[in-house]
Structure 1
Amino acid sequence: MKILIVEDEPALRELIQLSLEKERYVVETADSFNTALYKIEDYDYDCILLDIMLPDGSGLDLLEKLKTMHKRENVIIISAKDSLEDKVLGLELGADDYLPKPFHLVELNARIKSVIRRHQNEGEINICQGNVRIEPDKFRVFVENQELELNRKEYDILLYFMNRPGRLINKNTLAESVWGDHIDQVDNFDFIYAQIKNLRKKLKDSGANIELKAVYGFGYKMIVE
C-alpha cells in the first residue's frame, strides 16, 4: 500500500512517515502544493494525507486537480484549519475523511485502513481470490487455510495483485506502487522479476489456484485458474 503525505511542517511530516512505515506502507512525502501536484500527476497512491494550508497553495485546489484528472485516490484531509466550511467543501470535492490537528497517530492509522477498506473488497477486511486469502491487518497469507510464508516484498506484490484481479499491470506501475517513486533511478527491473519468480513458485508449490501470468513486453496479470 502506497501513501502520499502532503504536509509542510517537517516534524509532523517525519513523525507520520515513520509511523506509517512501521505499519509497512510505502510512504512518499511532499512539502508544498507544487511538489504534491507533480507527484499526483505522475504516480498513483492508495491514500493521500492532505494538509489544506500549504506555503504555495491550497490543499483544496489539489482535491480539485485530482477530480479533473479522474484519479481515484483515497484522500484524508489533515488540517489545523478546522472550520465547518472547509470540512464540507473538502468532502464535496471528493475527500473521504477529515481529521483535525492535533490527532493521535493510532487514530490516523485506523482512518487510513478504514478508507482503503471502504473502497476495496466491498469493505471486507480479508481479501480472497480463488483459494488464497490475505489478512492485511496481520500481514498473513493462507492457501486453503494453510499459512504461506512470504518475505515482505513478495507479500506486497501479492497484495497489490489480489486487490486488482484480472487487471493487466505494467511493470513500471507495479514497481512504483511496491517500491516507491525512487524506482525511476534504477537501470533495470531484474529485482522485480526475481521477486515475482519466487512468489509464483511459492504459490504453485502451495497449491494456490491463482497465477501471476506474464504478458510479454508489458507486465503481469493475476488470474484465477
Structure 2
Amino acid sequence: MKILVIEDEDSLREVMVRSLEKERYRVEWAADYPAALWKINDYQYDCIVLDIMLPGGNGLSLLEELKNMRKRDSVIIVSAKDSIDDKVRGLDLGADDYLTKPFHLAELNARIKSIIRRKQQDGEMDLSYANITVYPDRHAVYIDGVELPLNRKEFALLYYFVANPERLLSKDTLAESVWGDYIDQADSFDFIYSQVKNLRKKLKTAGAQPEIKAVYGFGYKMINEE
C-alpha cells in the first residue's frame, strides 16, 4: 500500500516517513505545493497525509484538485491550525479525517489503517479472491488458511492483483505499484518479469486457485478458471 506524505516541516516529515515505512507501507513525500500537485496528478495513493500550510500554495487547494480530477485517494489533513472552518471545509472537499498537530504517530497510523479498510475494502480486515486471502494490515497472505511467505515486493504485487481480479494490468502499472515514482532505479520490465515469475511459482506450489496469466505485449491478468 502506498502513502503520500505532504509536509513542509523537514523533521516532522522525516519522522512520519520513517514511522510509516516501519509499518511496511511504501511511502513517498512532497515538501511544497508544486511537488505535491505533480505527484497527485501522476500517481494514485491509498492514503495522502496532507498539511494545510505549504510553500507555494494551500493544502485545501490540493483537495480541490483531487476532487476536480475525480480521484478517490483517501486524505487525512494534518495541521497546526485547530480551526473549525478549516475542518469543515476540508471534510466538505472530500478529506476523510483531520488531525491537529501535535499528534502521536501511533494515532496517525491507526487512522490510516482504518481509512484504508473502510474506503478500499468496505471495512473488512481482509481482501480475498477465490482461495487467496490477503491481510494488508499484517502483510500476510493465506492460501486455504495456510500462510504463504512472500517478500515485500511479491506481497505488493499480489495485493494489487487481488485488488484488481480479472483486470488486465500493464507492466508499467505493476512496476509503479511496487516502485512508485522510483521505477527509474531499475529496469522495470525485467524487474516485473522476475518478480511475477517467482510469485506465480509460489502461488502454484501453495495450491492457489487463481493464476497470473501473461498477456503478450501488454502485461498480466489474475484469473480464476476453477
Same fold (TM over 0.5): yes
Question: Structure 2: 5+ residue runs without aligned partners?
Answer: none
Name the aligned partner's letter for residue 140 of structure 2: R
**Structure 2 CA distance for aligned equivalents of residues 131 and 55 of structure 1:** 48
Which residue pairs with 2:82 in the alignment? 82
Structure 1: give runs of 5+ residues left out of the alignment: none
Q: Given residue 81 of structure 1, which amino acid in structure 2 is its aligned partner?
A: K
TM-score (norm 1): 0.96
* Post-superposition offset of 1:186: 3.5
The amino acid of 1:210's aligned partner reads P
Partners of 2:172 and 2:205 in 1: CA distance: 27
Q: Deviations over 1:180-206 (max 9, x none)?
A: 201135444212110110101111111
Structure-2 residue corresponding to 1:110: 110
Q: Which residue of 1 aligns with 2:39?
A: 39
CA distance in 1, matches of 2:123, 2:170: 26
Deviations 1:144-171 (A, max 9, x none): 1111121121111111211222222221
SS at match of 2:122: helix
Greater relative contact order: 1 or 2 (C-alpha under 8 angstroms, separation 6 or more)?
Answer: 1
The answer on whether the counterparts of 2:52 and 2:77 sit within 8 Å (CA) in structure 1 is yes
Aligned to 2:205: 205
Distance 2:187 2:179 in 1: 14
The count of residues paired between Structure 1 and Structure 2 equals: 225
Distance 1:217 1:98 in 2: 44
Given that residues 45 and 177 in structure 1 are in contact (C-alpha distance below 8 angstroms), is that contact kept between their aligned partners in structure 2? no
Q: 1:222 to 1:5 in 2, by over 3 A?
A: same
Which stretch of structure 1 is more off in the superposition, 146-155 or 8-17?
Answer: 146-155
**What does 1:121-140 align with in structure 2 at a 5 Å threshold?**
121-140=121-140
2:167 aligns to what?
167
3-state SS of paired residue (2:166):
coil
Offset from partner CA, 1:117-161 (integer Å, 9 cap, x none): 111222100111101112223222111111112112111111121
Q: TM-score under structure 2 normalisation?
A: 0.95
The ranges of structure 1 where at least 4 consecutive aligned residues each deviate by more than 3 angstroms after the TM superposition are 184-188
In the alignment, which residue of structure 2 is the partner of 1:177? 177
Query: Is the CA contact (8 Å cut-off) linking 1:8 and 1:32 kept in structure 2?
Result: yes
- Deviations, residues 44-94 of structure 1 (Å, cap 9, x unaligned): 111110000001110000000011111110111011112011101001101
- Aligned partner of 1:8 in structure 2 is 8
| Equivalent residue, structure 2, for 1:92 | 92
Aligned to 1:120: 120
What is the rounded CA distance, in whole Å, between the counterparts of 2:163 and 2:148 in structure 1? Answer: 18
Quick one: distance in 1 between partners of 2:96 and 2:38? Answer: 22
- % identical aligned pairs: 65
The farther-off stretch of 6-15 and 213-222 is 213-222
Q: Which amino acid aligns with 1:13?
A: R
What letter matches 1:92 in structure 2? D
| Counterpart Cα distance in 2 of 1:52 and 1:18 | 21
Q: Is contact 2:156-2:177 (8 Å) kept?
A: no
Find the aligned partners of 1:99 and 1:64 in 2 and give their Cα distance: 19
The CA distance in 1 between the partners of 2:82 and 2:135, in whole Å, is 35
Amino acid at match of 1:169: L
C-alpha change, 1:149 and 1:47, in structure 2 (3 Å) is same
- Residues 88-131 of structure 1: CA distance to partner in whole angstroms, max 9, x if unpaired? 10011011111111110011001111111111222100111101
Map 1:55-74 → 2, pairs under 5 A:
55-74=55-74
